Structure 1
Amino acid sequence: MELNLHANATTTPKTRAYIQRSKKSVAQLAAELGVSETTIYRWRGRTTVGDRSHRPNNLTTSLSAVEERAVCELRTSLQLPLDDIVEVMQRCINAKLSRSAIHRCLQRNGISRLAKPDKPKPGIFETASIGFIHIDVKYLPALQRRTSYAFVAIDRATRYVFVEIHSRRDGATATGFLKRFLADFPHEVHTILTDNGAEFTDRFAVDKKNKPVGKPSGDHPFDQLCKQRGIQHRLTKPYHPQTNGLVERFNRRIAEAIGREQKRGSARRTFIDHADRDAFIAKFVHDYNRTRLKCLGYLAPMQALANHTGPNTKAGTHNHKCQLLRMLERRAPSTRSATAYESLLPCATAH
């Protein structure tokens, strides 16, 4: 227990309790404890062992009752800081009031500190069926004086991740990435959410004529592919990356894995060349898709993808199981077969 004793206190709470219990005379206790008889009389007359406040019972103040009410009103109604209250009081009511007097007034009334505004509650993603895809581009550290970009797509419902690494981040590259993702993803995609990067949209392009201000023209190759496939392409609010936070969080996972965002006590990873780094990221994504996640009820994304029971799925059908097994066989390392991953498909059966 932390003791809060007066700086000049000659006794402790234990000593004070002993004084209150003792039957010895005042002179005997004073001699035994090495304190004055006044101290013995003081603590024998009290029932507690804590120091009392040395603040006077009656405080003198230079503020009248009207001035004190005005100070409190300025604080509670207008939420003015101390210096603004001093300026108002000196200009409008009493030029002789000091800053310290007004500060003591606020302390007496328990309003010396402004209440902090409530923090806005963090938003949560709306529940979406399988096929709501978040897509973003992750800048990778330069290697051999060349910059690379990781195109990342993640399904909101199953957390399944698809990643490709490219040396360019233009519309053609993003469109090609989307085509390969749609061919890889075993379910129908109905919505794609991206930021306002030029590789995804021409929303803020300044070199297009007859384009609505602040709106995409629909001529961007990424938008055209979405239209052809019947996919709704949503854009995040400018300067609000948290709207696409699901894929932003996975981008941070990549940065932590390759050592770009170092933690205390961890070493930065080094790669021989681009192929070495790309193989490391590919293995990282491969392992992530087979890692049990708390947000999925401790299922792996591949398990959730294979056995998702929500709308817009064909989970449990024989053809769907065969398709997923063939997909696993394509992605499994050459030294393994698809049967090594059948444990991820509880509903799969031999055919």
Structure 2
Amino acid sequence: MIHRNAPLTPTGRLRLARCVVDDGWPLRRAAERFQVSHTTAARWAGRYRLHGHAGMEDRASSPRHQPRRTPATVEEQVIRLRREHRIGPLRLAARAGVAASTAHRILKRHGLPPLAAVDRATGEPVRRYERARPGELVHIDVKKLGRIPDGGGHKVLGRPAGRKNRTSTGYAYLHTALDDHSRLAYTEDLPDEKAATCAAFLTRATTWFAQRGITVERVLTDNAWAYTKNTWRQTCRDLGIQPRWTRPWRPQTNGKVERFHRTLLDEWAYHQPYTSDAERQQAFPDWLDWYNYHRPHTGIRGNTPASRVTNLSDQHS
């Protein structure tokens, strides 16, 4: 790779070499003309004589002979173990009898990505996508969350007292619609995840997005019972929305809303101890507002979701 202060590019090297080899310039004259040393001019002229135009490209900096390099059989074993078991350098090192740093270099040398960048089910690199405009695709999913009894749970009272205070408080069903392009999110706490409840949520979510200048064109859900019934399909038709479903046993396809729910749990639901479910619910609108309008999102290069919707961030107060 050419460094930023290199005086010659491959094109400049070719011009220098042709001046010396084809036009008969003295090496010192060519070196002075191209502002390089006599040795550098001689190197490129010599490589032009031997290899022609192809000799002007950079060569690999690795040595031709590496007597201490890891044997090929060991490298093959590391690659085979990685593909069969999908484990990282530390565990590969223990099985192959090499250092963890050696296992890491072998993986890097063969172009194998980190485990975080591959699908654990197939071992293939994760194919990430993003729709071109807001509303082109909205991800929808439900997160089931246990409600907090009055007085607090184990995080407030400790394990023994928390078990004594445990009552049949039921569950909160957090329905979320998240725009694929902007990551703008709309969430409601509903009593169940039945077909009628999901369909009504879609209607309200579509209205909420429309108020922010986003027309929902498609929705993507998993294959839960509520999303496969005629109630859901008919609601989509009435709203002019195309329903889409993920492949069975492939939650990664709907990964954006899955990741939002993880953020929601970390930064709101479990962020601090709450003494009641009402207290936690009271804190949710402020958190969602912060997420949509103020929180830098690493998935969109540190921008806020609202900044990717035309004029939305300017209208927010």
TM-score for both structures, normalised by structure 1: 0.47
Choose the corresponding residue for 1:137, options 138, 142, 148: 142
Using the aligned pairs only, state the percent identity. Answer: 28
In 1: Cα distance, 2:267 partner to 2:274 partner: 12
Q: Do residues 160 (structure 1) and 184 (structure 2) align?
A: yes
SS at match of 1:158: coil
Are 1:254 and 2:264 an aligned pair?
Answer: yes
CA distance in 1, matches of 2:215, 2:235: 14
CA contact (8 A) 2:148 2:276 kept: yes
**1:91-240 equivalence runs, <5 A:** 110=73, 113=77, 115-116=80-81, 117=83, 119-131=123-135, 132-144=137-149, 145-185=169-209, 186-202=213-229, 219=230, 221-240=231-250
Amino acid at match of 2:138: I
Q: Which residue of 1 aligns with 2:306?
A: 302
Deviates more, 1:135-144 or 1:153-162: 135-144
Rounded Cα–Cα distance in structure 1 between residues aligned with 2:206 and 2:252: 25
More helix by percentage: 2
| CA distances 1:116-151 after superposition (whole Å, capped 9, x unpaired) | 326411121243421110010011123232211110
**Conserved? CA contact 1:163–1:282, under 8 Å:** no
Structure showing greater radius of gyration is 1
Q: Secondary structure at the match of 1:254?
A: helix
Counterparts in 2 of 1:168 and 1:110: CA distance versus 1, 3 Å = closer
Within a 5 Å distance, the mapping from 1:8-157 to structure 2 comes to: 110=73, 113=77, 115-116=80-81, 117=83, 119-131=123-135, 132-144=137-149, 145-157=169-181
What's the offset of the Cα at 1:284?
1.4
> Contact conserved, 2:206 with 2:216, CA < 8 A, in 1?
yes
Counterpart CA distance in 1 for 2:215 and 2:225 is: 26
Match among 285, 289, 299 for residue 288 of structure 2: 285
Shift of 1:279: 1.9
- How many Å apart are 1:167 and its aligned residue? 1.5
**Cα distance, 1:198 vs. partner?**
1.8
Structure 1: 5+ residue runs without aligned partners? Answer: 1-107, 203-218, 261-267, 308-320, 329-340, 342-351
TM-score, normalization by structure 2: 0.52
Instruction: Name the amino acid aligned to 2:124.
Output: P
Q: Is the 8 A contact 1:289 1:300 kept in 2?
A: yes
Q: Who is 1:51 aligned against?
A: none
What is the CA RMSD across the aligned residues, in angstroms?
A: 2.6
- State the SS of the aligned residue for 2:173: strand
Task: String of CA shifts for 1:21-41, please: whole Å, max 9, x gaps.
Answer: xxxxxxxxxxxxxxxxxxxxx
Unaligned runs of 5+ in 2: 1-70, 84-111, 113-122, 150-168
Change (3 A) 1:109 1:252: closer
* Residue 109 of structure 1, CA deviation: 8.7
Structure with more contact order per residue of length (Cα contacts < 8 Å, sep ≥ 6): 2
What is the distance in 2 between the residues matched to 1:238 and 1:177?
23
Aligned length: 182
SS of 1:140's equivalent in the other structure is strand
